[in-house]
Amino acid sequence: MLYFLPLSTLLLLPSILAIPTPPSEPLPLLIWHGLGDNYAADGLHSVGDLAVEANPGTFVYYIRLDENPDSDKSATFLGNLTEQIAQVCEDLASHPILSIAPGVNALGFSQGGQFLRGYVERCNIPPVKNLVTFGSQHNGIAKYQICGATDWLCKAYIGLLKANTWGHWVQSHLVPAQYFKATNETTGEPTKDYLENSNFLADINNERELKNTTYAKNLASLNKFVMYVFEDDTTAIPKESGWFAYTNITSGEVTHLRNRTIYKEDWIGLKQLDEKGGLEFKTTEGGHMQLDDEVLTDVFKTYFSPPEEVSNQLANNEQELLEL
């Protein structure tokens, strides 16, 4: 059967087809820094500048827990992660730009990576489309070796951590303790102390008997979840935690994510995300957080480039008109 367009539409057709397809705007970018850093640090803003250079027009938001940079730095050591992530959820949901965005991209450095994942799982408003983490501790840390050689503030907190990891005060006040993970090295199973007392990691990894299905739904909604591990990382122990792998600290044997129960039973949506091609495991050279511009630029162009949906939809509309 033939269909005929009205004369008025035919007369307008040349002008419709002549309208140029507007370029898609890049999504806003969230950046969450690591332990001992602050949102206003020059190095962090140089990363944001690189993101804008790679994708002009990108709005970059540096996640912070306090507008005072010194206080924001202190919050990387001292604070309750449940409360901190709730604060970030509230800040982003009420932000005048981010709150009306169709989505955002997210980049997490070291502990900022698992905190961003916590944001995705717990609230995700605005929704994260692509999450990239560098040297993060998604399966927790087995040792408190996360300080720079001259970072005395960090070393002071680590002393407190080692004294009583599973105590209520430590678990509600000292940040690294809240993603410390104790396991039985024979079975690889988490210890009773960890499951009962962990303020953050045991919950966000859905390791307790009662599972939060929202966590899995939210994480599986990502387009891409890309996890970078540093080849020579001796700060985040074990480094394979950045891939959700389990490492036996004594033997060095690594059990990769796809062979672990958290994946097989899909506790947090990683299997579903993997099956649609959204899970990527990457390695980059150097020690913990030794990043060069080339690696970052590749990330920005590969995973954070402007979406194509608007352009593709307009192209489809034009094709449909031509077929009529």
pLDDT of residue 186: 78
Does 110 qualify as catalytic in the annotation? yes
Element (H, E) at 128: strand 128-134
Q: Which listed residue (37, 72, 203, 233) is catalytic? A: 233
Q: How many CA atoms lie within 13 A of 293 on its CB side?
A: 10
Element (H, E) at 220: helix 213-220
**Rounded CA gap, 239 and 234, in Å?**
7
3-state DSSP assignment of residue 267: coil
Is residue 37 within 8 Å of residue 289, measured between CB atoms? no
pLDDT of residue 149: 67
Q: Which listed residue (37, 138, 203, 288) is catalytic? A: 288
Take residue 225 and report the two structure tokens written for it.
């979840």
Left, alpha or beta for 58 (phi > 0: left; psi -120 to 50: alpha)?
A: beta
pLDDT of residue 258: 97
Q: Is the dihedral of CA 23, 107, 66, 216 positive or negative?
A: positive
Among 279, 90, 119, 254, CA closest to 200:
119
3-state DSSP assignment of residue 279: strand
CATH superfamily of 27-153+213-323: Alpha/Beta hydrolase fold, catalytic domain (3.40.50.1820)
Pairing verdict, β 246-247 and 254-255: antiparallel
Does 33 qualify as catalytic in the annotation? no
Strands (E), 126-266: 128-134, 224-230, 246-247, 254-255
For 249-270, b where at least 16 C-beta lie within 10 A, e where not — what string? Answer: eeeeeeeebeebebbeebbbbb
Take residue 47 and report the two structure tokens written for it.
């990363």
Is residue 177 within 8 Å of residue 162, measured between CB atoms? no
Does 288 qualify as catalytic in the annotation? yes
**Rounded CA gap, 176 and 79, in Å?**
10
Q: Which listed residue (33, 37, 110, 136) is catalytic? A: 110
Cα dihedral 108, 272, 260, 176, rounded to 10, equals 20
Domain boundaries in the chain?
Answer: 27-153+213-323
pLDDT in tens, the chain (324 residues): 443 444 444 444 444 344 443 457 899 999 999 999 999 999 999 999 999 999 999 999 999 999 999 999 999 999 999 999 999 999 999 999 999 999 999 999 999 999 999 999 999 999 999 999 999 999 999 887 656 667 776 677 677 776 789 999 999 999 999 999 999 887 788 999 999 999 999 999 999 999 999 999 999 999 999 999 999 998 899 999 999 999 998 888 999 999 999 999 999 999 999 999 999 999 999 999 999 999 999 999 999 999 764 344 334 444 544 454
pLDDT of residue 60: 98
Take residue 32 and report the two structure tokens written for it.
């969450």
